[in-house]
Amino acid sequence: MDAVTCTAPVNIAVIKYWGKRDEALILPINSSLSATLSQEQLCAKTTVAVSGQFTRDRMWLNGKEESLENPRYQNVLREIRRRARKRKIAGEGKGTSLSDALSWHVHICSVNNFPTAAGLASSAAGFSCLVYSLAKLFRIEGDISEIARQGSGSACRSLYGGFVSWNMGEKDDGTDSVAEQLVTENHWPELQILILVVSDQKKHIGSSAGMGVSVKTSELLRYRAEHIVPRRMKEIETAIQNKDFQTFAKITMQDSNQLHASCLDTYPPIIYLNDTSKQIMHLVHKYNDFCGEIKVAYTFDAGPNACLYLLEEDVAGVLAMVNHCFPPIEQNGDQYIRGLQVEELPIQKDLKESLGFTPLSPGALKYIIHTKVGAGPQVLPSTECLLDENGLPKDAHS
């Protein structure tokens, strides 16, 4: 059995991907840009293995066997094997086990180091990790973001650390619709992230189904993709290169709001933000007004959770406000604020008065994750392998 184990990060877009121009190849109607989050707090970990003993392709996700029939998995496996075969034909695979590996079945075992129930976009990390691991196993070189994209669009952005753009491309075959690193994780070390995990009853429409309806019915989405995003991409790239937080933060909020505006303009409308999400938005604007400049920016994906971008020096102050407005609920041993450590402060008295906000009852937020911008996927030593010598999960509940 040949096996490779890797981890891959979550990414949070500041210019949002919403809408495909090609459903099969997952080609977007606009370019997008995201920060890669540190894998200390959030990552997917995947082992891929091949063996002549395996009788079929199998996969276990978070301890549970899942079907590989989903076309997204089939596309990824087919593309990986096609690229490996190309290398073999070119002679590069000679004398290695690649010839064998190509005829063998694959076993995949993947776990997240965060609860999937949190509603954090885990498919980007998962597909990125799967493709990265398979590429290592089959010794594929060159751009693999095109393969990850065919698993889950935004997965291509999780293949690099720092800030990453996904260029929409122009070609029909998608070969120019690839991810590209804008700056590494060391470029803007002061930038940190707070993820406010919002309590929510509602089952939301998935982003893939949602964007399909939006593309069909929202004229505002089409206008956004064609006329607004291209300019915003340039502006935010410059802002990130210059570490210009004011511009970065404003565009981030505007683009999140425009994504959700496009969702509301969809017929029937799609609504991901709930009253708690709206209160977070309101508080962020109030806090920035109070400070006289933008200190913190929110962004929301296809759910009610808020992701806040802010500089390290402002984390304690913002957390004090969040703690005041959204008091923690009794946890059974779990911490309310998880991840990077920061001094716990009470809310500033004059800020509290300026907000005029009646704290919600405990439980509006489930918990908070404090993290920063991080690196791309990593290869782990074989001791971290998730599969045993028979290619079965070592711990069905790991």
Which residue from 180, 237, 265, 314 is in contact with its own copies, where contact means CB under 8 A? 265
Which residue from 62, 208, 257, 378 is in contact with its own copies, where contact means CB under 8 A? 257
User: Is residue 268 involved in binding its own copies (CB under 8 A)?
Assistant: yes
Q: How far apart are CA 49 and CA 107, in angstroms?
A: 5
Sequence-ordered strand ranges (E) for 144-183: 163-166, 179-183
* Comparison of 294 and 386: residue with beta carbon closer to its own copies: 294
* Comparison of 185 and 301: residue with beta carbon closer to its own copies: 301
Residue span binding its own copies (CB under 8 A) among the ranges 172-180, 224-232, 310-318, 320-328:
224-232
Q: How far is the CB of 276 from its own copies (least distance, A)?
A: 9
Count of residues that bind its own copies according to CB under 8 A: 26
User: Is residue 295 involved in binding its own copies (CB under 8 A)?
Assistant: no
User: Is residue 7 involved in binding its own copies (CB under 8 A)?
Assistant: no
Which residue from 74, 274, 348, 378 is in contact with its own copies, where contact means CB under 8 A? 274
Among candidate residues 46, 184, 66, 28, the one with its CA nearest the CA of residue 128: 46
Q: How far apart are CA 26 and CA 76, in angstroms?
A: 12
Length of the chain: 398
User: Is residue 247 involved in binding its own copies (CB under 8 A)?
Assistant: no
User: Is residue 213 involved in binding its own copies (CB under 8 A)?
Assistant: no
Which residue from 61, 68, 102, 264 is in contact with its own copies, where contact means CB under 8 A? 264
* Comparison of 64 and 278: residue with beta carbon closer to its own copies: 278
User: Is residue 204 involved in binding its own copies (CB under 8 A)?
Assistant: no
Binding mask 118-147 for its own copies (x = CB under 8 A): ------------------------------
Binding mask 358-387 for its own copies (x = CB under 8 A): ------------------------------
Kind plus residue range of the DSSP H or E element containing 46: strand 43-51
User: Is residue 65 involved in binding its own copies (CB under 8 A)?
Assistant: no
User: Is residue 260 involved in binding its own copies (CB under 8 A)?
Assistant: yes
User: Is residue 216 involved in binding its own copies (CB under 8 A)?
Assistant: no
User: Is residue 278 involved in binding its own copies (CB under 8 A)?
Assistant: yes
User: How would you classify residue 111: left for phi > 0, otherwise alpha for psi between -120 and 50, otherwise beta?
Assistant: beta
Which residue from 113, 267, 316, 390 is in contact with its own copies, where contact means CB under 8 A? 267
Q: How far apart are CA 60 and CA 321, in angstroms?
A: 41
**What per-residue string of b and e applies to 357-386 under the rule 16 or more CB within 10 Å gives b?**
beeeeeebbbbbbbbbbbbbbbebeeeebb
* 248-249-253-258 Cα dihedral, nearest 10 degrees: -10
User: Do 170 and 134 touch, CB atoms closer than 8 A?
Assistant: no
Q: How far apart are CA 232 and CA 8, in angstroms?
A: 27
Sequence-ordered strand ranges (E) for 280-364: 296-300, 306-311, 337-339
Angle at 391 between CA 385 and CA 393, to 5 degrees: 65
At 282, which amino acid appears?
Answer: H
Where do contacts with its own copies occur on this chain (CB under 8 A)? 219-220, 223-224, 227-228, 250, 253-254, 257-258, 260-262, 264-269, 271, 274-275, 278, 281, 285
